[in-house]
């Protein structure tokens, strides 16, 4: 067999599916896994794709099987294991070979790895892959960061395996060093917000309107035919309608309400805070997962405090309220995406990446977890105005916000009065209300800061006096 076009290390959930996808698209791929039995099992089960796969049991054999300059995808547990794997690989590599970390790396680790390889003659790509197991197998969304010539070496293979949206491949080179992993991190941050907002709407339907899981599934199914059409809404319908094989009850009612997290949501928030960009919906979503995880504390608190002392959750017109919920979810979602894109715009300036906003929206339209019809509209908005300060002031999205924010306000109000937690929906509303208000309330904060710390302030009349008369008399 001719030398493989590409190599892949790590035949776990993502790696094995990515390798099969690469093989299926007619590329020859060499594979290696730390535990040899995994490689053997993978190869044995590859069926007709075996002819495209070179299973390797040693690193030496693996490297020799790939055509130089060798692109090697490392799809293993993120963090320290990637550094260990790179160290094991390095002695066998030659000038211009490319190590590609395709896991969920922190982009700061990616930048460090770039720096460490600077004088080695080797190159590196930090590549975000979204779409889970199914995406990896049949078409993920791929966010590439690294040198443009490294990208050129892998462009053909990656284009062949990426998801397609109307024939447009959902893969792109987004910029140097950490750009790909940064964009993947923000993708996941937005995903956290999107999921949390859906869960909050589910909570209103379950605990406010007392609907069953199956009935709520029907509602999401209807919404998926409209403007909320998206993978997450689609799977929410499926999740809510799935029956537990043991009891026959809706499985969702039997799942413990403790959400896991691996770090990308938290990293989004940390980076947003580092740059001073508000990402309140993402923050609320990350915090909500943290609150969910202290199940024991919540149960104890419910015993001490009880649920909020509110009356029946009263909705005069259920049909109108359901319409409001649909619009509220759309409005809140706009807030979360606007925040995510604003974080990326600032990072692009800070790290000199020149991130292409329309392209990012484009490659998220299919393959990834947040794929949706809505991303096509974001693509159009950023294509018309790539440097706009915020998505919500583009003509298309300002129109949508004006049309839907009333519903968001009514839904958040109803939930708050009904004692139902909606932190992500409320944060999106707070974001709109703060962002659209030309005269805010920070004048009081500036005055307070000057009062206790002589920090000074700017005056709206431009007068050359930057400290308050705090020691003198009060207005009579």
Which strand ranges, in their side-by-side order, compose the sheet holding 98-101?
53-55, 29-32, 6-9, 71-74, 98-101, 123-130, 141-146, 171-175
Among positions 387-416, residues that touch ligand NDP (CB under 6 A) are none
Taking the least distance from each CB to ligand NDP, the nearer of 142 and 414 is 142
Please list, in sequence order, all residues whose beta carbon lies within 8 angstroms of the beta carbon of residue 113, skipping any fewer than 6 positions away: 82, 83, 86, 99, 101, 124, 126
CB of 129 vs ligand NDP, minimal distance in Å: 5
- For 130, phi and psi rounded to 5 degrees? -125, 150
CA distance from start to end of the chain: 93
Q: Is position 75 an interface residue for ligand NDP (rule: CB under 6 A)?
A: yes
Other Cβ atoms closer than 10 A to 35:
10
Taking the least distance from each CB to ligand NDP, the nearer of 40 and 298 is 40
Q: Is position 100 an interface residue for ligand NDP (rule: CB under 6 A)?
A: no
Report yes or no: 139 and 131 within 8 Å, Cβ to Cβ.
Answer: yes
Taking the least distance from each CB to ligand NDP, the nearer of 13 and 310 is 13
Among positions 131-170, residues that touch ligand NDP (CB under 6 A) are 132-133
Q: How far apart are alpha carbons 365 and 166 in whole angstroms?
A: 10
Q: Is position 76 an interface residue for ligand NDP (rule: CB under 6 A)?
A: yes
Taking the least distance from each CB to ligand NDP, the nearer of 184 and 241 is 184
CB of 290 vs ligand NDP, minimal distance in Å: 19
Strands 123-130 and 141-146: antiparallel
In b/e form, how buried is each residue of 182-219, taking b as 16+ CB within 10 angstroms? Answer: bbbbbbbbbbbbbbbbbbbbbbbbbbbbebebeebbeb
Taking the least distance from each CB to ligand NDP, the nearer of 34 and 409 is 34
Q: What residues act catalytically?
A: 184, 191
Interface residue with ligand NDP among 22, 23, 129, 144 (CB under 6 A) is 129
Three-state DSSP class for 334?
Answer: helix
Among positions 351-390, residues that touch ligand NDP (CB under 6 A) are none
Interface residue with ligand NDP among 78, 232, 400, 420 (CB under 6 A) is 78
State the residue for tokens 């002589």: 454
Taking the least distance from each CB to ligand NDP, the nearer of 19 and 219 is 19
DSSP letter (8 states) at residue 363: H
Interface residue with ligand NDP among 28, 104, 106, 110 (CB under 6 A) is 104
Q: Between 6 and 45, how does the x/- string for binding to ligand NDP read (CB under 6 A)? A: ----xxxxxx-----------------xxx--x-------
Q: Is position 90 an interface residue for ligand NDP (rule: CB under 6 A)?
A: no
Stretch that binds ligand NDP, among 76-84, 231-239, 312-320, 450-458 (CB under 6 A): 76-84
CB of 8 vs ligand NDP, minimal distance in Å: 10
Three-state DSSP class for 284?
Answer: helix
What are residue 143's DSSP bridge partners? 128, 172
Other Cβ atoms closer than 10 A to 155:
16
Count of residues that bind ligand NDP according to CB under 6 A: 23
Q: Is position 72 an interface residue for ligand NDP (rule: CB under 6 A)?
A: no
Can you give the binding site for ligand NDP, defined by CB under 6 A? 10-15, 33-35, 38, 75-78, 81, 84-85, 103-104, 129-130, 132-133
């Amino acid at each position: 067999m001719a030398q493989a076009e590409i190599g892949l290390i790590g035949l776990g959930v993502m790696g094995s599916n990515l390798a099969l996808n690469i093989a299926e698209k007619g590329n020859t791929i060499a594979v290696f896994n730390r535990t040899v039995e995994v490689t053997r099992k993978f190869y044995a089960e590859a069926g007709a794709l075996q002819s495209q796969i070179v299973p390797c049991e040693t690193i030496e054999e693996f490297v020799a099987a790939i055509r130089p300059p060798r692109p090697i995808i490392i799809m293993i547990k993120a963090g320290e294991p990637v550094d260990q794997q790179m160290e094991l690989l390095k002695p066998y590599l030659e000038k211009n070979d490319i190590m590609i970390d395709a896991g969920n790396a922190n982009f700061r680790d990616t930048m460090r790895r770039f720096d460490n390889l600077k004088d080695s003659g080797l190159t590196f790509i930090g590549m975000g892959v979204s779409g889970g197991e199914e995406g990896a197998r049949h078409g993920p969304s791929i966010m590439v960061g690294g040198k443009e010539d490294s990208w050129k070496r892998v462009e053909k293979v990656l284009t062949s395996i990426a998801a397609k949206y109307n024939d447009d491949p959902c893969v792109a080179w987004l910029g140097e060093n950490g750009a790909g992993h940064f964009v993947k991190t923000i993708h996941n941050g937005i995903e956290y917000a999107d999921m949390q907002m859906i869960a909050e709407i589910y909570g209103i339907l379950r605990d406010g309107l007392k609907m069953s899981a199956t009935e709520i599934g029907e509602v999401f199914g209807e919404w998926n035919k409209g403007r909320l059409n998206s993978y997450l809404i689609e799977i929410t319908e499926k999740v809510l309608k799935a029956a537990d094989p043991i009891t026959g009850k809706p499985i969702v009612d039997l799942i413990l309400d403790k959400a896991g997290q691996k770090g990308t949501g938290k990293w989004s928030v940390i980076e947003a805070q580092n740059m001073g960009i508000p990402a309140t919906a993402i923050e609320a979503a990350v915090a909500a997962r943290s609150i969910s995880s202290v199940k024991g504390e919540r149960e104890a608190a419910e015993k001490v405090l009880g649920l909020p002392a509110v009356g029946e959750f009263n909705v005069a017109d259920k049909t109108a309220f359901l319409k409001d919920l649909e619009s509220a979810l759309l409005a809140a979602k706009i807030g979360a995406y606007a925040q995510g894109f604003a974080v990326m715009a600032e990072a692009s300036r800070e790290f000199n990446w020149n991130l292409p906003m329309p392209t990012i929206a484009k490659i998220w339209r299919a393959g990834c977890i947040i794929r949706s019809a809505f991303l096509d509209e974001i693509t159009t908005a950023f294509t018309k105005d790539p440097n706009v300060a915020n998505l919500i002031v583009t003509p298309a999205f300002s129109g949508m916000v004006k049309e839907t924010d009333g519903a968001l306000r009514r839904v958040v109000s109803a939930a708050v009065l009904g004692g139902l937690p909606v932190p992500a929906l409320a944060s999106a509303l707070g974001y709109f209300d703060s962002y659209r208000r030309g005269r805010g309330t920070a004048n009081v904060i500036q005055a307070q800061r000057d009062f206790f710390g002589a920090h000074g302030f700017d005056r709206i009349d431009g007068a050359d006096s930057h400290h308050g008369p705090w020691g003198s008399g009060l207005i009579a």
